[in-house]
């Protein structure tokens, strides 16, 4: 464990680039690892979670190499031709790797054991086991439906129509990935829209995938027994990583920061919308398309925020951004209420409990409810910070560490975080960029 105190800092200025999108990076490696031929990936996030996906795809037979220029080259194993890994696959902290790869394995005739760290081993996997078992795969899971899990895939699997019981892009993607190697048409019905990178990118890799609407619900159909063709992918910067700098520049007086090339897919852009509703000053410069995704450079200037009731229907489009939104709310004038956030309790940590405890320790008034937090804003007054000798518990959760780092910038005494190492799962350059922007 590496503890660190994030001290109050002057304005964030200049121009920064945050790393590639985590969701898109996972998918680029997986789909390129299934295509026959060579794909190239530019801007891949080189964080631990994505490297876990790369290691797994290698174990399935894909050849994956990083060039000296930072471009990754992937020669796929071929859909239907995955090798059975000799050892258990250690997924580390990565829920996305685990759930999506379980989908992939489910429709191949191989047996794979998935393991993970203490955080991942506590997270619910029945949400993927249920649909994949309906398709014919079998599972030996630990008590409570958690990792370690041994998965016996089956080929051919059975196509299903599955209505998502929770709004989850990981579950949606797991079923679609299983459907890729399953004869017939596998359908996912999505009552609430979630991030659609799988759909966009699979179409680019040559899969036959249709997205329609029935009675107000999204219906995604994937045609099985597919062949994927290689493709070059350019990964835009991760809006979930940019979020920390959007909030930091908003709450630190005098800031004027440009964040380059940020992905603004509407299924991810909820935080931008909510911050603007609260009064943030965020401009979009040079809007364009990169790798089939809308992107822009964001110009973020300090602004005094006002608390709001956050519309729960926006939650899926900003599901990973609530920890840092709570920090923004702590600096706002008035009260911010969030509801409908049960899913935050089963992320890398229980993010409602972790952030309520962390912000309270740093001197913020917070009320915790089953499905959300109410934050009593300090009207721009800096937070007291963590008391001498005390530190925020990160709970193996990168986003708790980075959110409380941002809180430290707008504090009197700084915020001590007990363990910064989880930051490497998604944003290895975070600490350096923070120094750079505040220099
Ligand atoms: C992700 C989906 C979301 C998100 C996670 C990445 C993805 O999880 O929280 O960080 O890449 O599909 P859920 O599907 O559990 O909502």
Q: Residue 158 — pLDDT band, cuts 50, 70, 90?
A: very high
pLDDT tens, position by position, 32-48: 999 999 999 999 999 99
Catalytic residue, candidates 90, 297, 320, 418: 320
Beta bridge partners of 138: 152
Q: What is the pLDDT of residue 277?
A: 98
Please give the number of the atom of ligand 1 that sits closest to the Cα of 22. 11
- Average pLDDT along the chain: 98
Please give the number of the atom of ligand 1 that sits closest to the Cα of 127. 15
Section 76-102 average pLDDT: 98
Q: Residue 127 — pLDDT band, cuts 50, 70, 90?
A: very high
Section 394-406 average pLDDT: 98
Instruction: Give distance in angstroms: CA of 99 to centre of ligand 1.
Output: 10
**pLDDT of 1 over the 90 cut:** no
Section 7-17 average pLDDT: 97
Instruction: Give distance in angstroms: CA of 103 to centre of ligand 1.
Output: 14
User: Which has the closest alpha carbon to 302: 414, 401, 437?
Assistant: 437
Indicate whether residue 96 lines ligand 1 (CB < 6 A).
yes
Instruction: Give distance in angstroms: CA of 414 to centre of ligand 1.
Output: 31
Based on the residue annotation, tell me whether 320 is a catalytic residue of this protein.
Answer: yes
pLDDT tens, position by position, 179-228: 999 999 999 999 999 999 999 999 999 999 999 999 999 999 999 988 99
How far are the Cα atoms of 34, 49, 75, 149, 230 from residue 27, in angstroms, in the given order?
Answer: 11, 12, 15, 22, 13
Instruction: Give distance in angstroms: CA of 31 to centre of ligand 1.
Output: 17
Indicate whether residue 149 lines ligand 1 (CB < 6 A).
no
Q: Residue 292 — pLDDT band, cuts 50, 70, 90?
A: confident
Q: Can you give the pTM of this predicted structure?
A: 0.98
**pLDDT of 431 over the 90 cut:** yes
- Pair 379, 333: CB distance under 8 Å: yes
pLDDT tens, position by position, 161-177: 999 999 999 999 999 99
Indicate whether residue 218 lines ligand 1 (CB < 6 A).
no
Under DSSP, the state recorded for 394 is -
- Which domains are assigned to the chain? 4-20+236-438 (3.65.10.10), 22-223 (3.65.10.10)
pLDDT tens, position by position, 243-291: 999 999 999 999 999 999 999 999 999 999 999 999 999 999 999 998 8
User: Which has the closest alpha carbon to 74: 28, 114, 113?
Assistant: 28
Beta-carbon contacts of residue 306 (< 8 Å; ≥ 6 apart): 278, 279, 332, 333, 334
pLDDT tens, position by position, 129-157: 999 999 999 999 999 999 999 999 999 99
């Amino acid at each position: 464990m590496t503890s660190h105190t994030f001290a109050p800092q002057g304005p964030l200025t200049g121009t920064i680039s945050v790393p590639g999108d985590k969701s898109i990076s996972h998918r680029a490696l997986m789909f390129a690892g299934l295509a026959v031929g060579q794909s190239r990936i530019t801007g891949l996030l080189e964080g631990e979670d994505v490297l876990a996906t790369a290691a797994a795809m290698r174990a399935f037979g894909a050849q994956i190499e990083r060039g000296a220029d930072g471009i990754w080259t992937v020669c796929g194993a071929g859909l239907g031709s995955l090798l059975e890994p000799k050892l258990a696959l250690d997924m580390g902290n990565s829920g996305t790797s685990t759930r999506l790869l379980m989908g992939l394995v489910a429709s191949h005739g191989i047996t794979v054991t998935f393991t993970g760290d203490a955080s991942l081993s506590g997270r619910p996997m029945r949400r993927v086991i249920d649909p994949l078992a309906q398709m014919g795969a079998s599972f030996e899971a630990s008590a409570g439906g958690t990792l370690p899990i041994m998965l016996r895939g089956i080929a051919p699997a059975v196509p299903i129509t599955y209505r998502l019981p929770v709004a989850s892009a990981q579950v949606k993607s797991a079923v679609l990935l299983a459907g890729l190697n399953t004869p017939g048409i596998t359908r996912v019905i999505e009552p609430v829209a979630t991030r659609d990178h799988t759909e966009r990118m699979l179409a680019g890799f040559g899969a036959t995938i249709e997205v329609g609407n029935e009675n107000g619900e999204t219906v995604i159909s994937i045609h099985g027994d597919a062949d994927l063709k290689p493709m070059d992918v350019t990964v835009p910067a991760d809006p979930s990583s940019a979020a920390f700098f959007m909030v930091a520049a908003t709450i630190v007086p005098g800031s004027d920061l440009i964040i380059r090339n940020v992905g603004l897919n509407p299924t991810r852009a909820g935080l931008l919308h909510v911050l603007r509703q609260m009064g943030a000053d965020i401009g979009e410069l040079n809007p364009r398309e990169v790798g089939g995704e809308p992107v822009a450079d964001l110009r973020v200037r300090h602004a005094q925020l006002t608390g709001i009731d956050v519309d729960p229907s926006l939650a899926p489009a900003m599901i990973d951004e609530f920890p840092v939104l709570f920090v923004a709310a702590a600096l706002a004038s008035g009260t911010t209420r969030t509801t409908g956030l049960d899913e935050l309790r089963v992320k890398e940590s229980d993010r409602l409990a972790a952030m309520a405890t962390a912000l309270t320790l740093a001197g913020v008034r917070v009320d915790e409810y089953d499905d959300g937090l109410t934050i009593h804003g300090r009207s721009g007054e800096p937070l007291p910070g963590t008391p001498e000798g005390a530190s925020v518990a990160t709970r193996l959760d990168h986003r708790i560490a980075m959110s409380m780092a941002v809180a430290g910038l707008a504090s009197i005494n700084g915020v001590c975080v007990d363990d910064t190492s989880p930051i490497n799962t998604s944003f290895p350059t975070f600490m350096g960029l923070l120094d750079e922007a505040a220099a």
